[in-house]
């Protein structure tokens, strides 16, 4: 009898460890569009309102017309209230063709950028109204910042391919162009907005993007340190500034076409922070911040011994480690430059990742952080 209970206990421990191992990976959420394959659409973004997930859909299929009227709906918004296990279409107020290229959130309001302009929902994505008055008809939405009822976005006009800045002071119902400064990115830091442009140029605005001047001109003219040597920033901080990431409104990460840089609130010097990143950070395509950690996505390999995927730093970029990417859809091709992961989002005790090939995957946040830091 004792032998039987020992075997039973051993079986229990084995099943428990297997369950932990299975849970210690990224797992697939239920596809939101059940009648389409993943190759026919992608998830263009994800936001959350409390524990409700809201995603935007971009449909790649050709539009079939009958007497100039679309036969089937395309794109739209889907909502999940059970961590991505089930989804419900929510397109009341959206046009029949509503391919969502971007979804973003300002406080309790959710916005989607579609082929027909921007739409706003103030009730968690259930109903939508137009929020595009004053915006160019053919345009795409880039970076944005929110301050109460004021929203500022970078708009690229598709005909001229020029970027300009638009601002709304009534939650997006009306827009006005406030600057033609060509920025690729910006972020909010306390009472100023920092903007990034080409050639490593940075700008700042203290009146919500109406007027701009050079940001930290002393730092740009000074030097940065790399591998114990001093370089002018014209040699290191260069290329287009594609992303700016504010950390606690006091320090700043900058992702350029050449690498990743960091400046703290008590420093005037930008520092290159790419130790541990493949190709010295040149192939980083996105930066994310989750809890107190910053993640860099290395989109694909440059050589066969490199790893693409998420890299993690907990010391402001002093060094990066390869995070636990087990189960994440990653591009391992040497011939492609595909950014598989497009969004990371934390909701409660879950972390969600959006990818092109697998849609939405999720994982326990605490387990993911522990597993990544203990590698």
Q: Tell me the pLDDT band of 64, cut-offs 50, 70 and 90.
A: low
- Cβ 138 vs Cβ 159: under 8 Å: yes
Per-residue pLDDT tens digits for 292-339? 788 888 766 666 677 888 999 999 899 999 998 888 877 666 555 555
Per-residue pLDDT tens digits for 74-129? 899 999 999 999 999 999 999 988 899 999 999 999 999 998 899 999 999 999 99
Per-residue pLDDT tens digits for 244-301? 999 888 888 999 988 899 988 777 778 889 899 988 888 888 999 887 788 888 766 6
Task: Report domain extents, the chain.
Answer: 27-132
DSSP structural state of residue 277: S
Q: Which two tokens stand for residue 320?
A: 């990066």
Percent of the chain at pLDDT > 70 equals 81
The confidence score (pLDDT) of residue 321 equals 92
Residue range 141-155: mean pLDDT, rounded: 93
Nearest-angstrom CA–CA distance, 106 and 146? 6
Alpha-carbon distances of 180 from 25, 202, 259, rounded to whole Å: 46, 15, 27
Structure-derived torsion over alpha carbons of residues 64, 69, 71, 74, reported in degrees to the nearest 10: 80
The confidence score (pLDDT) of residue 327 equals 82
Specify the pTM: 0.84
Q: Tell me the pLDDT band of 235, cut-offs 50, 70 and 90.
A: very low
Nearest to 83 by CA among 354, 359, 351, 370: 351
The confidence score (pLDDT) of residue 173 equals 95
Nearest-angstrom CA–CA distance, 193 and 73? 39
End-to-end Cα, the chain, rounded Å: 41
Percent of the chain at pLDDT > 90 equals 44
């Amino acid at each position: 009898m004792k032998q039987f209970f020992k075997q039973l206990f051993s079986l229990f421990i084995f099943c428990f460890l297997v369950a932990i191992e299975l849970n210690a990976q990224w797992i697939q959420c239920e596809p939101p569009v059940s009648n389409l394959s993943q190759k026919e659409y992608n998830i263009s973004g994800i936001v959350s309102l409390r524990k409700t997930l809201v995603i935007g859909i971009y449909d790649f299929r050709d539009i079939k017309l009958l007497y100039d009227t679309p036969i089937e709906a395309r794109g739209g918004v889907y909502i999940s209230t059970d961590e991505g296990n089930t989804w419900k279409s929510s397109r009341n107020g959206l046009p029949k063709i509503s391919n969502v290229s971007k979804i973003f959130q300002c406080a309790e309001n959710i916005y989607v950028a579609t082929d027909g302009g921007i739409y706003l929902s103030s009730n968690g994505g259930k109903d939508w109204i137009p929020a595009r008055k004053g915006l160019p008809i053919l345009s795409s939405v880039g970076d944005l910042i929110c301050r109460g009822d004021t929203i500022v976005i970078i708009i690229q006009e598709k005909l001229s391919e020029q970027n300009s800045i638009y601002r709304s002071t009534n939650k997006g119902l009306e827009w006005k162009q406030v600057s033609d400064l060509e920025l690729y990115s910006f972020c909010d830091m306390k009472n100023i907005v920092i903007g990034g442009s080409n050639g490593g140029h940075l700008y700042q605005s203290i009146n919500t993007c109406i007027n701009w001047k050079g940001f930290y001109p002393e730092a740009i003219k000074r030097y940065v340190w790399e591998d114990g040597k001093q370089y002018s920033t014209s040699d290191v901080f260069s290329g287009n500034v594609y992303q700016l990431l504010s950390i606690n409104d006091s320090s700043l990460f900058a992702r350029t076409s050449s690498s990743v840089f960091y400046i703290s609130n008590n420093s005037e010097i930008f520092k290159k922070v790419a130790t541990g990143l493949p190709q010295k950070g040149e192939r980083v395509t996105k930066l994310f911040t989750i809890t107190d950690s910053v993640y860099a996505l290395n989109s694909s390999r440059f050589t066969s011994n490199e790893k693409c995927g998420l890299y993690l730093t907990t010391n402001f970029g002093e060094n990066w480690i390869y995070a636990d990417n087990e189960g994440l859809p990653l591009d391992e091709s040497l011939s492609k430059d595909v950014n598989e992961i497009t969004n990371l989002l934390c909701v409660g005790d879950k972390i969600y990742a959006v990818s092109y090939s697998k849609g939405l995957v999720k994982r326990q946040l605490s387990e993911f952080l522990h597993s990544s830091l203990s590698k």
